[in-house]
Structure 1
Amino acid sequence: MTASGFLEEIADVGRDPQRGGYSRHAFDAPEYDLREWFVDRALGLGLDVETDRNGNIWAWWGPPGRNAVVTGSHLDSVPGGGAFDGPLGVASALAAVEALQEKGFRARRPIAVVVFAEEEGGRFGVPCLGSRLLTGTIDPDKARGLRDADGVTFAEAAKKAGVDPARMGPDEERLDKIGRFLELHVEQGRGLIDLGAPVAVGSTVIAHGRWRFSFSGQGNHAGATLLGDRADPMLPAAATVTAVRRLAAGVPDARATVGRLVPTPGGTNVIASTVDLWLDARVPGEGTPGLVAEISQAASAAAREEGCQLQVTRESYSGDVVFDDALRHALGGWLGGVPELPTGAGHDAAILAGFVPAGMLYVRNPTGISHSPEEFAEAADVEAGAQALATALEQLAR
């Protein structure tokens, strides 16, 4: 089956009638359906399937062993996300394995397709949880205690899905089996549009992190409380949103976003008692913490002016990632000199790059838009990406 064919099979899973696009989050019903679909399709290809201690699914072609060639991506999405972010890499991996099987390729190294859990952080707030737990770059207790909007912990959700939360944590034995890791992903930008190419090799990922700003004031009646008597946390929260854009604009190549803001209790005629907002900040090199510090100072000043308090909590941070030089150059040669692209988007491959030789392949997105229903990839480009992945797997597994 083609990669497009695999994507068509899951095209109706997790559609979001309110936001548009798809909402598929870690261990919720749509994502669970996708996990079952992956297992079924992998078994259909004769692969041996197992779920590791952190909820990541592995499908092995050949006995699991060291120096394995591993590919894959994720199946979860951001709220109201597109059809390709994550699933394209999984569908292309299945299509690549099937293509190699059909041509009679005999691998000298094991090949595995992996589906990582909670890559987007759309439910529990921290991105790349599955790969972070695998590599030990997040404390298991912190991960287990993360809560979704309904108060369900990651541990509770994982247990309901059949994953024992008590066993979560670094998995050195499994990590040691990975000889090379290669992730295919739809491009999240317009680099390939400008270059007029369907496929590229990833070069770098810029530093990025997420911070939670919690403003607390005095909840009260919207009609009975005079303006001068208020300690309204919504005001410093709003001032912070505008400060984010203003301060980031003064830092070269910075990207800073507030995409989520939650007032409590959230009533139309109620002055909020607390307001939480989440900052996503990305600056190449060592600039991200400095930008966040400036934003925090502006937020703190706005909170004091309104008689409110502020607590800033770092929820995740990853520094600049440069993908493995040897793998990157080999990919360029095998694929006929395709271009190299940097990205500001995080990936599981970027987490693994600190531990194993890792790389990325990108497939052209003609809209240049991602994390949105407008995200897209032409069928011809999807198949070009799957073919490129098959070529790379064949070369790596010889």
Structure 2
Amino acid sequence: MQMSQEKQQKSTTSSERKDRIIDSLFLNRLQTVVTLNVFRGLLGMFQGYVKSFQAEKPLIHTLHSRMVEIIEDLLGMFIKPEYIPDKVGQLLKLNVTDLSIQKADKNLGVGKYAYTELSKARLDKACHHWVSKLYENLRTGYVMAAKKILQMPIANKTIRILSVLDPHFVGHSQTENSFKIIAKKLPQVFTADELGQLSVDVARYNVDQQVKQFASDYKEEDPIDTGFWKRVFSLQSFNQVKYPALKKLVTSVLTIFSGPLIESTFNIMDDIVEKDRTKMTVINYEAVAIVKTALRKKNVKSTNMKVSANMKKACISAYQTYKEYVKQIKEEKQRKHEENLKASVQLLKQEKAKRVSKLLRLKNKMLLKKQKEAPKRKLSHSNLEGGSKQKKAKVYVD
């Protein structure tokens, strides 16, 4: 390989790159293998977290616990376990750069693939130079990764409260309060008048024996929408939905999606927001995105779609709504314009009042100064008159 390399006509950069490859593959093979296995083992730690959120089922209720779990797993690789706090608030305040709470080199996490080879290399004096450097780089990498991963929104109250959707929280004392907080954060979905019905629904939900049975039957790998909540919402009381307000709230929250659905949404966005349509409002974009998603789901194109009477009514109604929306926008712009004019006039009046006040203060100051100087001038004038009289008397005597 080296002989064939010498025969080739290459640039200096190409030769240096190939020299480094040969050196890594043959001369320092153990170092290369160990380093690659460290990456291989550690990157796998994040693979489960990433893959779990690539599922098409709703996972918003697990987001907070998964974030805390991956943070604790990473910290456990280089921080002594007794210094890793259980509470989220204390976890965010952890000083990961403090060497006194970090593990010794031999106890640093290196993954399952590099552990045996690295343990042998650590005892070999010939490998001491690169092993110590590897541990130094690994420690630096852990600190940098910990600083970055601790920026995840684990302190976000909304994400934490959404965990109440998990069936394991049925019968918990904080369940009712958590659902109320979620409802208050969705004013466009839930009105203040519906909070009373929600309180009644959650109180019944917490003690319902059928719901508790559904919760015990639920398995973690099952979709939470069809595996648990669909069964809960199928319950009836006197031929009516047993939990109407709770159904409305949970259905709204479970529409928060992740993974492939987000990617498909961005694909739809690329089809809608183009160079000639970059100024679309959010409302218009959402409307077009909903229509495109519905068409794709039905495997129908707009060119061969049959227009029904209901669709015509919906279009007429949507157009009327759009005209009202445009009218509201114009009125809102006019109102803001008038408010800005009033604010500008008020500001000008204030500036004018300040200038007038400043001029009055200056005038009063000058008058006061003149009043203080008047007696002194009068006294000096009388002194001058007295002096002239004495001079005249003296001349007369002489």
Same fold by TM (over 0.5)? no
Structure with the larger strand share: 1
Greater RCO (Cα-Cα under 8 Å, separation 6 or more): 1
Structure with the larger helix share: 2
